Amino acid sequence: IDWQRSGDYTDIIYETAEGIAKITINRPERHNAFRPQTLFELQDAFNAARDDSEVGVIILTGAGDQAFCSGGDQKIRGDDGYMGDDTVARQGIGRLNVLDLQVQIRRLPKPVIAMVAGYAIGGGHVLHVCCDLTIAADNARFGQTGPKVGSFDGGYGSWLLAETVGLKKAREIWYLCRQYSAQEAQDMGLVNTVVPLERLEEETVTWAREMLEKSPLALRMLKGAINAKSDGAAGMQQFAGDATMLFYMSEEAQEGRDAFKEKRRPEFDRFPRRP
């Protein structure tokens, strides 16, 4: 696959090919831990992939084969969050901006695949949990570390994990902070499949291509539907927005718009009162 690189980023790489966007966290010297700048860039890249109508599937991964992502960069963690170089940090204020990225991954209406080699740990583990699918290399290691390093994720990191692997297992993962192999992760339904490291990208691209053959609107509605239950009112709001989008695409809705512009009464009698 012939990836084409674009964007002016320092902490990530953004590439596209054949309707797939690949977003790579590029801080391998810190096992792809994220700092605020990394998250701003990830948000920008995910927006680019969302807005690009050629893109149907997004892959999130980490540079190298040692780590997908090791969570928040503990070396720039301040007393109230993670410190960047921006104005807010210069005022001595930290950020927890990974939460915005989690919401963005959940809400963008295209499937996101986590392609995991090596560690998916801490906030990096939560990111893969937020992705629609996870393809793991056989060297992948999964786990949470919050209670070891003085942190926790009480949002998607807790209850979406519990929805994925069950309550007892989610408690074990958080309370004990153990690491789990790729095979163990597959056994508990945390990942979709495990492949040899050298076949990781090939397999992930195969899954992406298979989804690209499917109806984009059907996939969009399914992602919204599956998320709506656990996202409560926010999930329903997105699903309702999709219903409005579909309605706008109908002749019935267009008749309302046209009648307004033509300053006439709308002729809704043409449309059936569906059972």
**Binding site as annotated, residues for substrate:** 70-74, 82, 119-123, 145, 151, 248, 263
Tokens of 162: 């519990």
Cα–Cα distance for residue pair 146/113, rounded to 1 Å: 24
Residue (175 or 247) nearer to ligand 2NE, CB: 175
Per the CB < 8 A criterion, the answer to whether 236 and 221 are in contact is no
Is residue 162 part of the contact set for ligand 2NE (CB under 6 A)? no
Q: Which residues from 19-58 bind ligand 2NE, rule CB under 6 A?
A: 30-31, 33
Is residue 145 part of the contact set for ligand 2NE (CB under 6 A)? yes
Residues 6 or more apart from 120 whose CB is under 8 A from it? 67, 68, 69, 114, 127, 128, 140, 141, 142, 143
Element (H or E) spanning 221, and its range?
A: helix 216-248
Q: Which residues from 98-117 bind ligand 2NE, rule CB under 6 A?
A: 98
Cα end-to-end distance, the chain, whole Å:
48
| Sheet (strand 67-69) strand order | 67-69, 119-121, 141-143, 180-181
Residue (30 or 169) nearer to ligand 2NE, CB: 30
Nearest to 246 by CA among 82, 62, 109, 106: 109
Residue found by looking up tokens 């007892």 in the block: 168
By CB under 6 A, name the one of 11, 73, 132, 201 that touches ligand 2NE.
73
| Known binding-site positions for hydrogencarbonate | 144-146
Residue (41 or 203) nearer to ligand 2NE, CB: 41
Q: How far is the CB of 30 from ligand 2NE (least distance, A)?
A: 4
Residue (64 or 266) nearer to ligand 2NE, CB: 64
By CB under 6 A, name the one of 40, 46, 68, 119 that touches ligand 2NE.
119
Which residue ranges make up the site for ligand 2NE (CB under 6 A)? 30-31, 33, 70-75, 96, 98, 119, 121-123, 145-146, 149, 151-153
